[in-house]
Every structure is written in structure tokens, then in C-alpha cells.
Amino acid sequence: MKNTINNNMILQKENKILRAKTEEIKKINSQEIKLLIKKMVDAMFAEPDGIGIAAPQIGESKKIFLVAEDVLHPERFDKENKRTRNFLVFINPIMKKKSSKKTEDIEGCLSVRGLYGSVPRPEKITVEYFDESGNKKSRGASGLFSRVIQHEMDHLEGILFIDKAKKIQKITPPHL
């Protein structure tokens, strides 16, 4: 699917890159990674419903994903329908904890356009990762933020949400 806003291509589910495990990033603070982050930011924010993106979705088999900071304030986003271009970078993430309690919610994906399904995921998680400056971080997440992180971490393992989803439906969003 071609993106009319910035001509980035978000790979679709048929692409083999989306089914491969990604490579760990060795030089986190490199020019190459800074450029990759910029491409990912442009691709994610060009999509009206882009709240997370993993490197494989733009053809790079690397352990990195971004999450739009809007997911930290879904109540504001829903009421005001405003987006910022603020984002968090997760490089070489590792899931450290996940709650035994799971919740089910509807998910979609920029690489699986038109399909939506109910996916059970742990309600709360703790993830360790490096930020774009190479600082090691640990962060807890719950709600939508937790769901987006888990969805993007699946991408890094070659897993698409449709592999876990129940009741998959084909829906064409009005903005497409």
C-alpha cells in the first residue's frame, strides 16, 4: 500500500520480512539507526491510525519499534482527536514481567490492512530496552500502552496479530 503523504511503503502481511525474527541492534547511537527512526516516525504518523510501528514493517529486520505517546493519554486523544508527533523508542526490548491476568481487545495493524480481531494479552507488563541515546531503561505498562508494546514486540519475532486473534473481521476504515 503506497502512502500518499510521504511515499513510505508499509509492508503488508504477505511480505516474508514480516515473518522473520529480527536482528539485535549493535550500534544503537549510530547514524544508521537515527535515519531508521526518522523513516519509522514518518511512516507511523502518516497513517491516521498509526500508534505503533516496528522496523520490519518498513523492510528493516532490526529489533526496534516506536510507540506514539498519544497512547499514554487515550482519553484526551478520543475527546479532542488531536495527535502529537511525540514517540517513544524501544531498541532491543526484552519482556521482563507480564501479569497472569489477561484482557481481550480489538486490534488492527498497519501491515494487515482491513482486518481486525480480538486478541488476548497480559494486562500489565514490564519491558527493558534501550532508548535512542543508548540509555538502558525499564518501564511498566498497562492498558492500551501495554497492548501496543506487546503487539510491536510480536512484530520483532515475526508474529502478526492475526496469528493470535479470534473473531477476525474485514472492515474498511473510513479514512482509507
Annotated catalytic residues are: 152
Residue 68, strand partner residues: 87
Residue 75, C-beta contacts closer than 8 angstroms, at least 6 positions apart: none
Q: Contact at 8 Å (CB) between 33 and 27?
A: yes
Burial letters 39-56, b for 16+ CB under 10 A, else e: bbbbbbbbbeebbbbbbb
Q: Contact at 8 Å (CB) between 86 and 69?
A: yes
Q: How many Cβ atoms are within 10 Å of 168's Cβ, its own excluded?
A: 13
Q: Contact at 8 Å (CB) between 151 and 107?
A: yes
Distance CA 21, CA 62 (A): 9
Distance CA 72, CA 160 (A): 23
